[in-house]
Amino acid sequence: MTVAGGTLSRRPVPTARGGAVQSVRDSLVVARRNLIRMRRIPEVVVFGLVQPIMFVVLFSYVFGGSIAVGGSTDPSLYREFLMAGIFAQTVTFATAGAGAGIADDMHKGLIDRFRSLPMARGAVLTGRTLADLVQTALTLVVLAIVAVVVGWRVHDGVPRALGGFALLLLLGYAFSWIGALIGLSVRTPEAATSGGLIWLFPLTFISNAFVPADNMPTVLRTIAEWNPFSATVQAARELFGNLPPGYPVPAAWPMQHPVWASLIWSVVIIAIFRGLAVRKYRSATA
């Protein structure tokens, strides 16, 4: 073998570096890597779709008709009500993907390699969360089609509906930063997957996602109304025009101003968890 550094043509010269430009560039390089991975492991994307589709079908046909929304148990009303909840739950499941991916990178020594390279500090995590965002967007498209098939419609026009999807994606992006922190904190991808999921169940169920919160005990109702997750569900419902007629909007501030509440919550989550995750990354080693 002839491989000595000395026999290679020349020492390539790095381009200009530093600052925000490098940050963006490095993040995109890592995002691209993660998107290639997703393409090569399509099972992950497919399985990521099965659960929400199952939820759409099961909730629509099993619970629809027994859950009263806006004083009516008309199953078609519940189906419309439900969709924003399932969309929101689906985007938060991106947490588990980000966590497992980053834990896997740690486990395999890739984080060590990245950390020994002269790259922007946050780029490995930003790249991962951006790739997850793309995956979440694809999942939402498929899910929306399934939802239309079972009878879901938007009633306030496409621009407002797109606004609703934008808020959902932002929530998903915020949650993938929580996943990133979990992935850096546990030792195995398996732990990151379960650690990324278990707390999502109470979070998404103690909310207005599947049933109106007004029938819950007071404590749970208060939690549900202030739950960051509920704000996005409520906002999406409003923007899709899916609030059933006569549905009483709770008096809590986030429920009265769900779009703002959703934006604020997502931005705050990103700010906090991005900070914590990047800090953790700087000292992370396999």
Which residues contact another protein (rule: CB under 8 A)? 1-9, 11-15, 17, 22, 25-26, 29-30, 32-33, 36-37, 40-41, 108-110, 112-119, 123, 187, 283, 285-286
Give least dist CB 274 to another protein, A: 20
CB 111 within 8 A of CB 285: yes
How does 81-94 read in b/e, with b if 16+ C-beta sit within 10 Å?
Answer: bbbbbbbbbbbbbb
For another protein, the closer of residues 5 and 245 by Cβ is 5
For another protein, the closer of residues 44 and 142 by Cβ is 44
For another protein, the closer of residues 2 and 218 by Cβ is 2
Give least dist CB 111 to another protein, A: 9
Q: How far apart are CA 204 and CA 215, in angstroms?
A: 16
What count of other Cβ atoms lies within 10 Å of the Cβ of residue 194?
A: 14
Q: How far apart are CA 107 and CA 267, in angstroms?
A: 30
Give least dist CB 284 to another protein, A: 9
Tokens 């979070």, residue located: 203
CB 150 within 8 A of CB 57: yes
Give least dist CB 139 to another protein, A: 20
Give least dist CB 206 to another protein, A: 31
For another protein, the closer of residues 37 and 155 by Cβ is 37
For another protein, the closer of residues 108 and 155 by Cβ is 108
Give least dist CB 12 to another protein, A: 4
Instruction: Tell me which residue of 188, 177, 82 sits closest to 130, measured CA to CA.
Output: 177
For another protein, the closer of residues 110 and 146 by Cβ is 110
Give least dist CB 171 to another protein, A: 28
For another protein, the closer of residues 184 and 239 by Cβ is 184
